[in-house]
Amino acid sequence: MKTAFRAMLLVLLATSAFTIPSKAEDLPPVVAALFGNLEKQINVKPTYGKLETDSNGNITISDMAVSYAAMAGGPQINYTVKTISFENVEAEADSIIKVGKSVMTDLKMNMNVGDGQNVTVELPSATAEDWFVPVLAENPTPLQELRANMSIARKASAGEFKFSTMGQTFTAKGMELTWDGDPVTGAGKSSITLKDLVIPEAAIAAGDPTGQMKKLGYADLTLNFTAAGELAINGETFGINGNIDVSGKDMGGFKFAFGASELPISALAELQAAERDKREPNMNALMPQLMNVTIGDMRFRFEDASITRKLLPIFAKMQGMDEAAMVANASAMLQISMMQLKNQAFTDQVVGAVSAFLKDPKSITIAIKPASPVKVQQMMTLDPNNPAAAIDLLGVSVTAND
Spell out the residues 6+ positions from residue 147 whose beta carbon is closer than 8 angstroms to its own.
134, 184, 185, 186
Instruction: Compute CA distances 13 → 131, 303, 331, whole Å.
Output: 12, 28, 43
Distance CA 326, CA 12 (A): 45
- Reduced to 3 states, what is the DSSP secondary structure of residue 66? strand
pLDDT of 326 > 70? The answer is yes
DSSP-assigned letters across all residues of 351-372 = HHHHHHHHHS-SEEEEEE--SS
pLDDT at 395: 95
Amino acid in the structure at residue 123: L
pLDDT of 44 > 90? The answer is no
- Span 31-44, average pLDDT: 79
- Span 11-16, average pLDDT: 38
Among 72-81, 118-127, 201-210, 266-275, which range has the highest average pLDDT? 118-127
**pLDDT tens for each residue of 149-179:** 888 999 999 999 898 988 889 999 999 999 9
Amino acid in the structure at residue 328: A
Which of the four pLDDT bands, split at 50, 70 and 90, describes residue 63? very high
Distance CA 356, CA 350 (A): 10
DSSP-assigned letters across all residues of 307-330 = HHHHHHHHHHHHTT--HHHHHHHH
**pLDDT tens for each residue of 210-254:** 888 888 888 889 999 999 999 999 989 999 999 999 999 999 999
The kind and range of the H/E element at 218 are none
Using a pLDDT cut of 70, give the percent of the chain over it. 93
pLDDT of 80 > 80? The answer is yes
pTM score, whole prediction: 0.82
> Do residues 323 and 312 touch, judged by C-beta distance below 8 A?
yes
**pLDDT tens for each residue of 113-154:** 777 788 999 999 999 999 999 998 888 888 888 888 888 999
Q: What mean pLDDT value characterizes the chain?
A: 87
Distance CA 165, CA 179 (A): 30
pLDDT of 26 > 80? The answer is no
pLDDT of 18 > 80? The answer is no
Cα Rg of the chain, angstroms: 24
pLDDT at 73: 65
pLDDT of 13 > 50? The answer is no
pLDDT at 9: 36
Which of the four pLDDT bands, split at 50, 70 and 90, describes residue 76? confident
pLDDT at 83: 96
Which of the four pLDDT bands, split at 50, 70 and 90, describes residue 12? very low
pLDDT of 273 > 80? The answer is no
Tell me the residue ranges of DSSP E strands in 151-206. 152-158, 161-165, 168-172, 174-181, 188-199
- Span 79-101, average pLDDT: 93
> Do residues 259 and 289 touch, judged by C-beta distance below 8 A?
no
For the chain, the maximum distance between any two Cα atoms, rounded to a whole number of angstroms, is 77
pLDDT of 392 > 90? The answer is yes
pLDDT of 25 > 80? The answer is no
pLDDT of 206 > 80? The answer is yes
- Span 257-279, average pLDDT: 85
Give 3-state DSSP helix, strand, coil % of the chain, rounded to 5: 35, 40, 25
* Sign of the CA dihedral running 134, 41, 271, 295: positive
Nearest one of 263, 246, 251, 169 to 218, comparing CA atoms: 251
Is the pLDDT higher at 284 or at 351?
351
Nearest one of 179, 197, 175 to 130, comparing CA atoms: 179
pLDDT at 3: 40
- Reduced to 3 states, what is the DSSP secondary structure of residue 402? coil
In the 8-state DSSP scheme, what is residue 150? -
> Do residues 275 and 43 touch, judged by C-beta distance below 8 A?
no
Nearest one of 211, 171, 111, 153 to 16, comparing CA atoms: 153
Nearest one of 174, 206, 209 to 1, comparing CA atoms: 206
DSSP-assigned letters across all residues of 115-138 = TTEEEEEEEEEEEEEEEEEE---S
pLDDT at 8: 38
> Do residues 177 and 12 touch, judged by C-beta distance below 8 A?
yes
Distance CA 23, CA 35 (A): 9
Which of the four pLDDT bands, split at 50, 70 and 90, describes residue 70? low
pLDDT at 106: 95
Among 65-69, 322-326, 395-399, which range has the highest average pLDDT? 395-399
Which of the four pLDDT bands, split at 50, 70 and 90, describes residue 71? low
